[in-house]
Structure 1
Amino acid sequence: MYTYKSEILYTKTKFATDKAEASDLIELDNLINERAKEGWELVTYSYMSSSFQVKGATLITFKKLN
């Protein structure tokens, strides 16, 4: 049996593009690696942009064996 946990990682405000920046990737890697140390495994992720593509977020789901 697994326990699932979802988190939202917000991206920085962008005015000209919705492309990921190096700092966004570092934050994402840090979150995934921190959760892995706690025993969580990445299951899925989904980028959610705002209606104006100014600020978005990534919904990330992890699982852990009970």
Structure 2
Amino acid sequence: MGIETSLSLSELNDRIAILRDNIRQLIEQAAGASGAEVEERISERLEQQNAELEKLLNAREAMTGGG
């Protein structure tokens, strides 16, 4: 069980919104990035953010009973 299970629905929604904004910003950075190292770091960060978003979405779905 992660921290997402101890959050309120409002806190989950806030974190989901923050992660979605982070992902949007990373995608914008990736579009303007040059160099393999920079692209690799952005790609790794995107993977981390997407994994965290998935966990929070699943926690919210479990809390609300679905869709």
TM-score above 0.5: no
Q: TM-score, normalised by structure 1?
A: 0.35
Higher helix share: 2
Query: Greater relative contact order: 1 or 2 (C-alpha under 8 angstroms, separation 6 or more)?
Result: 1
Higher strand share: 1
- Indicate the structure (1 or 2) with the bigger Cα radius of gyration: 2
